[in-house]
Amino acid sequence: MRGRISAALLVIVVVCLAAVVAQVIAQPSPFVICGWVSKSGGEPCDNPAVSISNLNTGAEWQAETNAINYYQLILDSNDVNAGDILRFNASCCDQLKTIEHEVTQSDIDNGGILLNISLEAPQEIIWQGDVTLINGTTFCVTAHNSGEEYVVNCTTALGALDAAAHAGGFNYTVSDEWGILFVDSIADMPNEGWSGWMYWVNYPDEPMPMVGAAEYVVEDGDVVTWYWSSSMNMTPENSPKVLIINVTVASNEFDTGKGTYPSISGTHYGTIIPSRNITVNRIYSYPCAGTGGHIEYVKIWNETAGECAFAQWKNYAGDYHNLTFNTTLTLEKGVIYNYIIKTGSYPQIIHAHYKQVNGGNITCTLFRDANGKEYDDWIPAFRLWYAPAA
């Protein structure tokens, strides 16, 4: 009997010990997440705000912080498991950063994660907008270090920056210290050591250009991005300062385009309004096929400024479809210019009272044909352009 009682007591003791051991084993262990928060430049960012969420479970926590740039969150092994994705959202001093970290078994075994966070400053867009660059035109820029002046094609990456600087009211400087022109300051922000301004055309779809900005020829529709770079790994996406320039490349001409029949010679009166500044000294008339359609006389002038240019046809000898004005005329954007064009033979006609054309718009106020009939919807087809003196 006594043996049976002893055996029973032994069983009870074993069961109790197993329960105690099970409780000890089931106790969660601490899991500590901590680290230091710094600004994008590496300086401490005191009293940061750090929130942490477990994307696998949906749990969210706010870490404790203090007057120094330290954060800490004390969890336990029930809150995280190996394979969980923790998202850190940190902010301080108008800078922020989001980081995702996958919990490893090593993190579990070590009882936590030490993760330092370097914040990122929000990207500053110095200027963003559209510019129009004219084919065949140039601008002058002076290298500040040597004082030498350079003539640069407008339809280049440097030309895009120059046009943007005029449109946006900011400055830039160039240097020829290394034998080519390179930009060493934009908007009063100069290059510093190995940090400085770079450009990229059509980022990220095209590779980084490997020539100077004064040599890179841009095309219509290109996007030229100038950005501050502190390393060769920096791109417009992660740069702290950028300029984004949308480029339109246009011809230096006012061109109505071709016209059609019916056609007859006569005298045209009307107005043109350029959509950009255009320098011209030649006019070309579009003839109907198989005819000698041409301009016999043309006069273009502005009533307010008194600017005037005219050209007279001589005969059918030579290139009689192109006439040269008596002077070079710069048609200014948005200014109304009057025209009188007297045509001979069968020039092409645009049968409209008003038309948007390459370089602006044109309106027919009166056309009196060779038979004396009058219309207000016959626009002569012609092109105003510039040709350097031979």
Looking up tokens 């003539």, which residue turns up? 151
Among candidate residues 198, 276, 180, 196, the one with its CA nearest the CA of residue 236: 198
| Residues listed for the chain | 390
Beta strands 30-38 and 112-114, pairing class: parallel
Distance of CA 178 to the CA centre of its chain: 27
Separation between Cα atoms, residue 218 and residue 20, nearest integer Å:
78
What are the angstrom distances between the C-alpha of 190 and each of 84, 195, 228? 45, 9, 10
Q: Quick one: pLDDT at residue 390?
A: 60
Separation between Cα atoms, residue 230 and residue 234, nearest integer Å:
7
Q: Which two tokens stand for residue 134?
A: 């004219």
Q: Which residues pair with 337 in a beta bridge?
A: 272
Separation between Cα atoms, residue 262 and residue 369, nearest integer Å:
12
The residue ranges of the chain whose pLDDT is under 50 are 1-24
**Interval 98-154: pLDDT, tens:** 999 999 999 999 999 999 998 887 889 999 999 989 888 899 999 999 999 999 999
- Are the C-beta atoms of residues 295 and 312 closer than 8 Å to each other? no
Q: Count of H helices and E strands in the chain?
A: 3, 31
Q: Quick one: pLDDT at residue 26?
A: 55
Q: Quick one: pLDDT at residue 210?
A: 93
Q: Strand, coil or helix: what is 387?
A: coil
Looking up tokens 């993190």, which residue turns up? 107
- Are the C-beta atoms of residues 108 and 31 closer than 8 Å to each other? yes
Separation between Cα atoms, residue 361 and residue 377, nearest integer Å:
14
CA angle 304, 253, 282 (to 5 degrees): 80
Looking up tokens 């830039």, which residue turns up? 172
Beta strands 149-153 and 266-274, pairing class: unpaired
190: phi > 0 → left, psi -120 to 50 → alpha, else beta; which?
beta
Q: Quick one: pLDDT at residue 334?
A: 94
What residues contact 194, with CB distance under 8 A and at least 6 apart? 230, 231
Q: Quick one: pLDDT at residue 303?
A: 85
In our burial notation (b when 16+ CB lie closer than 10 A, e otherwise), range 280-309 reads: bbbbbbbbbeeeebbbbebbbeeeeeebbb
Distance of CA 127 to the CA centre of its chain: 9
- Are the C-beta atoms of residues 52 and 64 closer than 8 Å to each other? no
DSSP state of 358: B
Summary mean pLDDT of the chain: 90
Distance of CA 282 to the CA centre of its chain: 35
Element at 365 (helix H, strand E): strand 360-369
